[in-house]
Amino acid sequence: MALARRIIPCLDVKNGETVKGVNFVDLRSAGDPVELGKAYSMAGADELVFLDITASFEERKTFTGMVTRVAKEINIPFTVGGGVNELADVERLLYAGADKVSVNSAAIRHPELIEQIATRFGSQVCVVAIDARNDADGWHCYLKGGRERTEHGLFDWAREAQERGAGEILFTSMDHDGVKTGYANEALSRLAESLSIPIIASGGAGKKEHFRDAFQIGHADAALAASVFHFGEISIKELKQYLHNEGINVRQ
């Protein structure tokens, strides 16, 4: 049997509070990240992702204090990202209690960082996050929380990240982020065909069917969502029961 598909709430953190926007802008508060993380852990989430969404842009370090507090409150794996630029950042976050670390901007600027993390801590620790938009000339990767376009194509960069030792790819479609019309399933499917490491779908969840499609059409290994969980639109328990009924292997 294939590995169980994972449901992952994502908590975008800014100035110590969870926020959520649309297309990476128009942010509104969604609550305390530690309390939300604890609630999701108890509600049956498989993993959590905490992203300090302005750390790269403001050249700040992710707050380790929050990571330590989260680690004390939850009993499921969690990933931390935002402002991770060197091995010392990874070591600091893992020591604080994180299970995995997500790299995005720094990995594009210094791809050798992926190899360094994988060599030092193991590939399972290294999640390469990719924020991409389907522009007129195809899918391109963006830096600094979606503010700066690069010349890296989504699919080429994902393959390079895998070759350099990434353990997972967290792909966020900027076009779909917060719009709640479904994930970028065509792009997800292309990634799944070309990669052998797990792919986490991000951006677009609005109803339970969107998660089903991410798994059945996009062939994602995990589906990440934020606002539908934060604002009580979908419960994790109901979502998992629905997916199970649709024939998708999920942890109950």
Alpha-carbon gap, residue 137 to 11, rounded angstroms: 31
Alpha-carbon gap, residue 4 to 222, rounded angstroms: 9
pLDDT at 21: 56
| Number of neighbours of residue 194 by Cβ within 10 angstroms | 12
Q: Which residue is catalytic, options 89, 131, 177, 221?
A: 131
pTM value?
A: 0.92
- How far the first Cα of the chain sits from its last, in Å, is 15
Please count the CA atoms within 13 angstroms of the CA of 135 that sit on its side-chain side: 14
What is the chain's pLDDT, residue by residue, as a tens digit (252 residues)?
Answer: 568 999 999 988 877 777 765 554 455 556 788 888 999 999 999 999 998 876 655 444 546 888 999 999 999 999 999 889 999 999 999 999 999 999 999 999 999 999 999 999 999 999 999 999 999 999 999 987 678 999 999 999 999 999 999 999 999 999 887 778 999 999 999 999 999 999 999 999 999 999 999 999 999 999 999 889 988 899 999 999 999 999 999 998
pLDDT at 62: 46
Q: Which residue is catalytic, options 12, 52, 177, 213?
A: 12
Q: Is 12 a catalytic residue?
A: yes
pLDDT at 176: 84
Q: Is 131 a catalytic residue?
A: yes
Please count the CA atoms within 13 angstroms of the CA of 198 that sit on its side-chain side: 21
CA distances from 73 to 2, 50, 153, 171, 185 (A): 30, 14, 39, 27, 34
Three-state DSSP state, 230: helix
| Number of neighbours of residue 2 by Cβ within 10 angstroms | 8
In which residue are the tokens 């969502």 written?
225
